[in-house]
Every structure is written in structure tokens, then in C-alpha cells.
Amino acid sequence: KYLNMRIFNFLKFDLFFKFIIIFIIFLLFEGFFHHYYFQISQIITFLEYRNQTGYNIIIWNENGLVEFLQVILLFISIIFFIKYIKNIHSSSALKFKILIYIYFLGILYYFFEEISWGQHIFGWGTPDFFSKINSQNETNVHNTSSIFNELPRNLLLIWTSLSFIFVKLIFFKNRLIGHFIFPSLELKFISFLILFFFIPDFLIDKLDLAPGHPASNSRDIALNYLYEIISFNFIRLSELQELLFNVYIMCHSYFLFKRNYQDLNIN
């Protein structure tokens, strides 16, 4: 019975993961076409010529499609996690419960920051305090300082891309903590996807491979194009990465919710 349920859950995840891949391919294709339309319309004669480049604001701008999906994924994650908390065994260790609630508070904070604590929904004006310190004139903390933006982002990157390694390398005396960190093997496929979109951009940036703009000759222009495509910087890469972070968080919450903790030694 357990094996049949395991196969059923994998098949459901397999369909979901294929949908994510297809959606990302669509985003990449649309982003490539929109960003390089200026060059493409010069080559393909039946296309209307336009001096168009950059990203599609409907998809990638603040409050665009990708950011909207991020919020939806976080909201679903919160629902799954609340259900998971309700099913935590009453005899669970106090330290484990503290870990669970700290993580849950982190998801809530992330969600409310993404909607600027309700400003994106209710449309109130930005208070004077945030207007003076917020780079996007919004009611949130992460746009007030690189520390409040980059530090949580890097922690999210580590959590969503490397958890499957942590579980293998670190021995957890408390078996339940290990299951909390990595409740399903399927999560590693999302981690691979995150690393796929992170590593090329990271290496090109840290090794300073791209000549940079403005390019001084045709060779440097070609290299700029090459590295821009390899690193997926013809789209708003940071927004795509955040979308994948949220896909991971939602799946992690779902697998926690689905897991049968009654069979685990919780003491």
C-alpha cells in the first residue's frame, strides 16, 4: 500500500514538474524573442520592424505575471504548512516545534514582504517613513537595504538548492528533523533546476568572463551576446530564480503535509 501511494505521489509530482518545465520554456522563448526582437526583426523580413529590446513588463515587471505567481505559490505554501502544523504529534520535542514555527514565521514574513504587507492588494499610499528609505517607494523592508534583500535571498538559495546535500552529509540524531529538511526525494529535481539557472550566471559574473558594455569591437559584442544567452540574462533572471524558490517552498510544504508522521519515532 505504501509503495502504491509512493508511486501515485511521484506521478502527480512528475506531471507538476513537467508543467513547470513547459512554463519556464515559454518564459525563456518569450523573453528571448522580446529581448532580441530588434535583431530578429532585421533578419526575418515578414516581421514588423521595431526598435524593441529588454523584457516584457507584463511578465517581468513589478506586479507582473511572474511576481503574481510567486505570491500565489507562497499563499498555497502557507495553507499546506498550517495543515502540517495541525498534524504535528503532541509529543514532539520542544526544539523541533520551535524549528517548525520559526520556519513558518519565515514563510509568513516572505509572503507579506512580497505583497508589501497588503499595499499591492489594497493600494494604500506609502508611509513617509518607507518613502524616504525604500528604493521602490513601497511598504516593505527588503527594498530598504541590500542586507535585508541579499541576505534572505542567499539563505533561500542555499535552502532550496542544497538541502538534498545537507541531508546526505549531516547525520541527524533526530530523524524527524532530517525528514523536515528533506521530506521527499522529488524536491531534488527542483533544486537541480534552481542550480541550472544559478551556476552559469554566478560563474560568468565571478570569473568576469563577459567583456561588458559598451563593447569596443565585434568580438566583444559577440561575447556579450553569448554570455548573456548562456546566463539567461535576456530575462529578469532574479525574478525567475525567486519563482523557482517559491515552487520549492510550496512543494516542500506539500510533501510535509502529505507525509505520515504517525509512523515516525517522534520522541
Q: How far apart are CA 100 and CA 88, in angstroms?
A: 10
pLDDT tens track, the chain, 267 positions? 444 445 445 558 888 999 999 999 999 999 999 999 999 999 998 889 888 999 999 999 988 999 999 999 999 999 999 989 888 766 667 888 888 999 999 999 999 999 999 998 888 899 998 888 998 889 999 999 989 999 999 999 999 999 999 887 765 666 778 888 998 889 999 999 999 999 999 999 999 999 888 888 999 999 999 999 999 999 999 999 999 999 999 999 999 988 754 444 343
The set of residues, in sequence order, having a beta carbon less than 8 Å from that of 175 and lying 6+ positions away, is 264, 265
CA distances from 112 to 135, 141, 158 (A): 18, 10, 21
Could you tell me the three cell numbers for 41? 526583426
Could you tell me the three cell numbers for 148? 535585508
Q: How far apart are CA 6 and CA 160, in angstroms?
A: 22
Please give the pLDDT value at position 150: 94
Please give the pLDDT value at position 68: 96
| Residue 227 identity | Y
Q: How far apart are CA 28 and CA 137, in angstroms?
A: 29
Q: How far apart are CA 181 and CA 103, in angstroms?
A: 11
The number of C-alpha atoms within 13 Å of 20 and in the hemisphere containing its C-beta is: 24
Q: How far apart are CA 235 and CA 134, in angstroms?
A: 24
User: What is the distance, to the nearest Å, from the Cα of residue 147 to the centroid of all Cα atoms in its chain?
Assistant: 18
Instruction: Please give the model's pTM, rounded to 2 decimal places.
Output: 0.90
User: What is the distance, to the nearest Å, from the Cα of residue 216 to the centroid of all Cα atoms in its chain?
Assistant: 36
